[in-house]
Copies of this chain bind each other. A is one copy, B any other.
């Protein structure tokens, strides 16, 4: 396709370009656009048939949308942005340079501008950022027939029309009715009678992923968002809920792996940049590697401190990897179990003492097994042959301490980070690595020095 339109672009032959694009399919155009210069993109976009233009735009990633919008004239840009869903609009504006974003928001139509400004007022990752201010609602006195008329006369997209909210005279939320129930009900019946899910609601400041999981648990198509007085102010739709859950999971996984990027919270954009870019991945990954480098040197300091012990019994060095790897793996297990349990609601932050206690019991059991097996292996391999049977004891006890510590830190550190509001900040894993390596090796060499009576 690029071959057929390239000459028209070069000649700025808009008529030819237009007829070429008239029959193209949106997916193809969406794949083509990012390969063009911004100016060419704006040109191509402009001559697209009205019916496919918006659809093509929505197929682009938010950063691709942003660079296209930057190349457009302001009236064109505003026209496109006003047609978007409220949450997509926010994502796009988030991607624009501050200067451009300000001009675009200023040029928006009154009610859209108000909605954008209020959404931008909420923290990223909250319900306020993904709620749609557009939904269908009826008063509780309404009949099923009234609700059907409300749906029929709504200008919303079909995928956002599966739910009708029921409110009272003060706009206070009373429940929701699924479209299929309306279709199957007696038109003269009252909507209040068939309303359900009065208890599943969110507020704009709630965590988006938590709200999304509430929607998921009850198989809803839309989750009502209420203000403090219980009045309906918007809805989170199922598609946005799915995205919010993905986002949350991605943030956890990238955080755990030490891939920091505070600028981009959108997981699709981040994943794409990480798998296709060069400077971007180098930059975000290196920043964390430098932290790890400092940690590795700190841990080396422990070995440095015990250089005399090591010089006397060089075989001690052989078990450094074992003590480090074992604590490392246990720590990753614990942070992963914490992360999944927290996301799925099995870890309750207010009951942290109970969770910590349980995890520590598991840790104690594993540490006992690992300590005995590892200690025996060390004794048989290096202890007995070299006539230093105490080596087995030193390895066993250090493994025992490391595994216990890694379990504790694997639950306690992420919990602490959530407590101080650092949820999903660059993960706890690299810190745990340093702390448990430091402690594990300190115990190992300290014990070895003591039992070997060298110091």
Give residues in A with beta carbon < 8 Å to B: 148, 151-152, 154, 158-159, 161-162, 178-181, 183-184, 216, 219-221, 238-239, 241-243, 245-246, 249-250, 253-254, 256-259, 267-268, 271-272, 274-276, 278, 281-282, 285-286, 288-290, 292-293, 295-297, 299-301, 303-304, 307, 310-311, 314-315, 317-326, 328-330, 332-333, 335-337, 339-341, 344, 346-347, 355, 358, 361-362, 365-366, 369-370, 373-374, 377, 381-382, 403, 429-430, 433-434, 437, 441
Contact = CB atoms under 8 A, between A and B. Distances in A.
Contact of A180 (B151, B288, B310): B151
B183 A183 contact: yes
Nearest to A149: B183
Of the candidates A221, A339, A437, the one having the most CB atoms from chain B within 10 angstroms of its own CB is A221
B377 A293 contact: yes
B296 A321 contact: yes
A443 to B, nearest CB: 14
14 contacts: A152-B183, A242-B245, A258-B332, A271-B344, A272-B341, A272-B346, A289-B369, A293-B322, A296-B321, A299-B325, A300-B320, A304-B315, A304-B382, A325-B433
Contacts of A178: 158-159, 161
A321 B268 contact: no
Contacts of A314: 307, 310-311, 314
A320 B320 contact: yes
Contacts of A246: 245, 344
A320 B303 contact: yes
Nearest to A364: B282
Contacts of A254: 336, 340
B441 A321 contact: yes
Contacts of A272: 341, 344, 346
A340 B286 contact: no
A352 to B, nearest CB: 12
A135 to B, nearest CB: 12
Given A159-B180, A253-B339, 15 more contacts: A159-B220, A162-B180, A183-B183, A254-B336, A254-B340, A258-B332, A271-B337, A274-B340, A275-B346, A285-B366, A286-B370, A289-B403, A296-B325, A317-B317, A325-B434
Contact of A274 (B274, B289, B341, B366): B341
Contacts of A347: 275
A223 to B, nearest CB: 13
Contact of A258 (B333, B377, B382): B333
A152 B182 CA distance: 9
Given A275-B347, A355-B275, A361-B278, A366 B180 contact: no
Nearest to A182: B183
Interface centre among A238, A254, A321, A362 (most CB of B within 10 A): A321
A154 B184 CA distance: 9
B162 A221 contact: yes
The 9 closest A-B pairs by CB, nearest first: A296-B322, A161-B180, A257-B336, A158-B180, A299-B321, A275-B341, A300-B318, A158-B178, A296-B325
Of A159, A254, A290, A310, most buried by chain B (CB within 10 Å of CB) is A159
A183 B369 contact: no
Contacts of A370: 286, 289, 293
B180 A344 contact: no
Contact of A286 (B256, B339, B366): B366
